[in-house]
Amino acid sequence: MRFYRGIAVPENEVDERIASIRLEGLKDTSGKSGVPDLKAYSRDGKKWNRLLHSTKLGIDLTRKKGAEVVYACGDRKSALYYACVHNVTEVNNHPILIQFDAPQRDVWVDGRDLLYNVLQLWDQHQAGIDRNRKKEVVQRTLLMLYGEAIFPYLQPIFTSEKDDRRLALTDLAVNDAKVVTPHYRNKKWICGRHRTVFRNAFCVRSPISGSRIAATTSIKQPFAPPQCDVKISDLLA
C-alpha cells in the first residue's frame, strides 16, 4: 500500500532532511506506543470473535500491547493538508511530502481525530437527544467512511453505556484490516478534531526503512483546504 506523510521543517534544513529521510527512512520519535496492537488476534477469526463478544471486554484487554507508529494518509491531497497547513509553524515553515510503501498487516486506522471521539461521545452532547435518529446518522456516516466491516463494532457501542467498553470496541475496529481497506479508498473529505482535514488517516508500524521511501519532495505551491463532506461537529451536535 502506498502512503503519504506531510511534514514541515525549517526552510534552511530542507535539503538535509530530505537526504536523511531517503537514507534512513522514518521512525516514531515520540517514545510512546501510538496505537493498541491487536494484529495477532485480528488474524485469527476465532480469537477475534471471542474478544469482540467477551462480556469482560475493556481497555485492560485491548491495550496490553502498543505499537510505535508513523502517522500518514492514503492519498496525496490529505497529506498535502498536513504538510502545507496543519504542521506549518513560524519555525517549521517549509512543507515536505513523503511517499512510502507498507504492507497492510502493519497498518491501523488512525482514529484520533474522528472515530474515537464520535464513538465515545455520539450520544452525550445534547439533552433530549433522539437516540435512534442520532444512531442512524452516525451509523450511515461511518459506514460511508469506513465500509461495511465497521458495522459489528457499531452495534455493541450503540447499546453500551460504558466508556471503557466503547473505547475497547473502537480499539478493535482500528485494528481490523477489513476496516482499513475501505477507509484507504474513501474520497469524502472529513473535518476532524483540532481542525484537521483529511480523506483518510492511518498509523503505520515504525520504523519505515529508507528502502521503502518512494519519494520525498519539497512542496512549493500553496494548498487550499477543500470543503468538507463530513464534520465531526455535526456528528457530535
pLDDT band at 43 (very low <50, low <70, confident <90, very high): confident
Cβ neighbors of 40 (< 8 A, separation 6 or more) are none
Stretch 55-63: mean pLDDT? 95
Residue 136's pLDDT is 95
Residue 31's pLDDT is 64
Cβ neighbors of 112 (< 8 A, separation 6 or more) are 193, 201
Q: Are 236 and 120 in contact (CB under 8 A)?
A: no
Residue 33's pLDDT is 67
How does pLDDT run across 152-188, given as a tens digit for each residue?
A: 999 999 999 889 999 999 999 999 999 999 999 999 9
Q: Are 218 and 96 in contact (CB under 8 A)?
A: yes
Residue 128's pLDDT is 64
Residue 130's pLDDT is 82
Number of domains within the chain:
1
pLDDT band at 125 (very low <50, low <70, confident <90, very high): low
User: Is it the case that residue 74 has pLDDT exceeding 90?
Assistant: yes
Q: What is the CA 81 to chain-centroid distance, rounded?
A: 15
Residue 206 backbone dihedrals phi, psi, to 5 degrees: -100, 145
Mean pLDDT of the residues in the chain:
94
Cα(229)–Cα(215) distance, integer angstroms: 30
Stretch 59-78: mean pLDDT? 96
Stretch 103-111: mean pLDDT? 97
User: Is it the case that residue 84 has pLDDT exceeding 70?
Assistant: yes
Stretch 67-93: mean pLDDT? 97
pLDDT band at 191 (very low <50, low <70, confident <90, very high): very high
Stretch 1-6: mean pLDDT? 98
Q: Higher model confidence: residue 3 or residue 32? A: 3
Residue 162's pLDDT is 87
Cα(117)–Cα(155) distance, integer angstroms: 16
Stretch 133-148: mean pLDDT? 96
Range of the domain at 96: 2-236
Stretch 136-156: mean pLDDT? 97
pLDDT band at 30 (very low <50, low <70, confident <90, very high): confident
Stretch 53-76: mean pLDDT? 95
Stretch 181-196: mean pLDDT? 97
